[in-house]
Structure 1
């Protein structure tokens, strides 16, 4: 079987307001235990590998097997961190060992009267058989930001 080599680009921006101070939202990203509670844990999959190194040049890994489904692997490198202001990463995703995408993602933290406005912007390049997967990535990030909101209370 021949693999059709294709590329697709997808980008999106999501904004969420959380009724807690910027410092609390920031800690949900900067503290390993807190991040794992909304980003790396869940009932829909079993964790296989987790690494957390929150610093410029640091690398995060989250590999998990979805119950009854594929093995997903996320590897990110932090390219810019300004405390309480922004986080920028590049990251790659694999599904059952096949490289599916490379993305640049940013998180901006803004103090607003009601708490914190978090803005996530992302641009991904999707490879070969995953070239139509952009909308799924946005939906997945929506779910993560909801999980973050639940964690923040």
Structure 2
């Protein structure tokens, strides 16, 4: 029998990006752009569902080795070029591993953008933890930075 538990964690990632907030926002809001940076490098990152609007859902599924992960999002608040707030859960091989609240803040800074990503997570049954999620999010933000620099 699986021992049930919840571990909580919060992290904040800050970056300065060399493009204006509208460009960063578009990289999150446009499915064609988002698939170029969000997800596993070299993988099929096209979501099965993508409704970028308040109350909209985004759903994707991907493989890492023999492990299948799902990412199921509900957009809670969107202010164009300023913020995105969403809740999401993740599963691993069908087992729910976390439920999170994430916010993306975009602030004009000179000719660029100050990006703040804050996440509050509930990590379930020892299957995930705050440090692993932070590392994964740092990697995704790095992919976003690379995409924005190359586009």
Shorter-normalised TM-score: what interval?
over 0.9
Which of residues 125, 130, 133 in structure 2 aligns to 1:134?
130
RMSD across aligned positions (CA): 1.5
Structure-to-structure mapping, 1:10-49, within 5 angstroms: 10-40=9-39, 42-43=41-42, 45-46=43-44
| Separation in 1, partners of 2:61, 2:47 | 5
Aligned length: 149
Query: Does residue 120 of structure 2 align to residue 118 of structure 1?
Result: no
| Separation in 1, partners of 2:95, 2:3 | 14
Per-residue CA deviation, residues 101-137 of structure 1 (Å, 9 max, x unaligned), is: 000000000000140011000000011132x521110
Query: Does residue 77 of structure 2 align to residue 77 of structure 1?
Result: no
Unaligned runs of 5+ in 1: none
SS at match of 1:84: coil
Per-residue CA deviation, residues 72-124 of structure 1 (Å, 9 max, x unaligned), is: 10000000001111000000000000000000000000000140011000000
Q: TM-score scaled to structure 1, two decimals?
A: 0.92
Q: TM-score scaled to structure 2, two decimals?
A: 0.93
Unaligned runs of 5+ in 2: none
